Amino acid sequence: MIARLIVLVSLMGFLNLAFGEARALDLVNVVLAPMPPFVIEGGTLGSPPGIVSEIITEAYRRDGKRPYYAYMPAARAEHTVRNGRAMATVVSGDPGDHAGSFVLSNSLLRTPVSAVIASGYAGPPLTSFNAVAERQATILMEGQGRLRVISIHGDPVIDDLHEAGVEVEEVPGIESAMSLVVRADGRVVLVTFSNAAVHLAQNTGVPMAQFQSFTIGYSDFYLAISRTRPGAIDLANRFNRSLEILRLDGTIDAILDRYGAGRTSPDQSPTTD
């Protein structure tokens, strides 16, 4: 009887401690669009996989908060945050494109954007969005057929391609995109984040020797909080302080190393407006 009482008291003490810890961590609703290896859908509450997800999780944890993640397409995620049904989402690309609706954090991660094509391609380097547009137009004008330019559905680089005059097709995911690139042997070019292509190759056994890539530029990921949310600027600045601690103590480098991703130092100017 005494033994059972000891076990019961110990169990109640453990449950109270666990409940107290859960109460001590404020839950933060974050909605994300899956984009491996940056955001990988799944994992446990507050601990999802993905480079960007892990950075956000750790930054909030340092501030005594615990993010609760939901996954949906990028446009819907942004709409959900603008309407106040979630605290934050993640956006990428030119911060000026989002300034009207969101207060952005400092850069979570800067990553290269590349044009990926089969290794048999022997044309001019595709080192800019304009270069991709020119190559697509030249092939068509010379009657050599058509250079298909593809990108992942919802990928922010699609807007940049359109601005350069590229005729771009959207495909549902990185797996189908890379498969098209291999089969087309130089007639299909995928424009996306370089780390996404490398991540797929590492996890599917597809040798990177089958591809060649041209770096077009770089893109940053930001935590985005609706401007209409009370205290949005203070929330972003508070997050930035935690983010800076992660940079200084090597946590972000450790996360990048786990995914085999190189680090490019972003602009660290704080969010103030």
Indicate which CATH number applies to the domain containing 119: 3.40.190.10
Give 135 or 259, the one with higher predicted confidence. 135
Judgement on whether residues 82 and 134 belong to the same structural domain of the protein: no
Judgement on whether residues 105 and 223 belong to the same structural domain of the protein: yes
Tell me if 18 is assigned to some domain.
Answer: no
Tell me if 268 is assigned to some domain.
Answer: no
Judgement on whether residues 122 and 138 belong to the same structural domain of the protein: yes
Judgement on whether residues 158 and 103 belong to the same structural domain of the protein: no
30: tokens are 């974050």
* The total number of structural domains that make up the chain: 2
Judgement on whether residues 171 and 224 belong to the same structural domain of the protein: no
**pLDDT-derived band at 129, boundaries 50, 70, 90:** very high
Confidence (pLDDT) at 155: 81
Judgement on whether residues 200 and 252 belong to the same structural domain of the protein: no
Judgement on whether residues 99 and 53 belong to the same structural domain of the protein: yes
Judgement on whether residues 149 and 202 belong to the same structural domain of the protein: yes
Judgement on whether residues 54 and 140 belong to the same structural domain of the protein: no
Rounded-to-integer distance, Cα 213 and Cα 197, Å: 10
Q: What is the mean pLDDT of residues 34-40?
A: 87
Judgement on whether residues 97 and 166 belong to the same structural domain of the protein: no
Tell me if 32 is assigned to some domain.
Answer: yes
Judged against a pLDDT cut of 70, whether residue 13 lies above it is answered with no
Q: What is the mean pLDDT of residues 173-199?
A: 85
Total residues found in the chain within this entry: 273
Tell me if 251 is assigned to some domain.
Answer: yes
Judgement on whether residues 69 and 140 belong to the same structural domain of the protein: no
Q: Give me the phi and psi of 117, to 5 degrees please.
A: -145, 160
Number of Cα atoms under 13 Å in the Cβ half of residue 54: 18
pLDDT digits (tens, 9 = 90+) for 141-167: 999 889 999 998 878 889 899 999 999
pLDDT digits (tens, 9 = 90+) for 59-84: 999 999 999 999 998 889 999 999 99
Confidence (pLDDT) at 46: 62
Distances (CA, A) of 20 to 9, 10, 26: 16, 15, 11
Tell me if 62 is assigned to some domain.
Answer: yes
Tell me if 15 is assigned to some domain.
Answer: no
Give 263 or 3, the one with higher predicted confidence. 263
* Average pLDDT value for the chain: 83
pLDDT digits (tens, 9 = 90+) for 87-122: 999 999 888 888 899 999 999 999 999 999 998 899
Rounded-to-integer distance, Cα 144 and Cα 186, Å: 12
Confidence (pLDDT) at 262: 58
Which residue do the tokens 């909030």 mark? 60
Tell me if 265 is assigned to some domain.
Answer: no
Judgement on whether residues 165 and 238 belong to the same structural domain of the protein: no
Instruction: Check: CB of residue 84 under 8 Å from CB of residue 225.
Output: no
Confidence (pLDDT) at 270: 39
**Across-strand partners of 270?**
none
Confidence (pLDDT) at 152: 86
Tell me if 10 is assigned to some domain.
Answer: no
Domain span including residue 230: 24-110+219-258
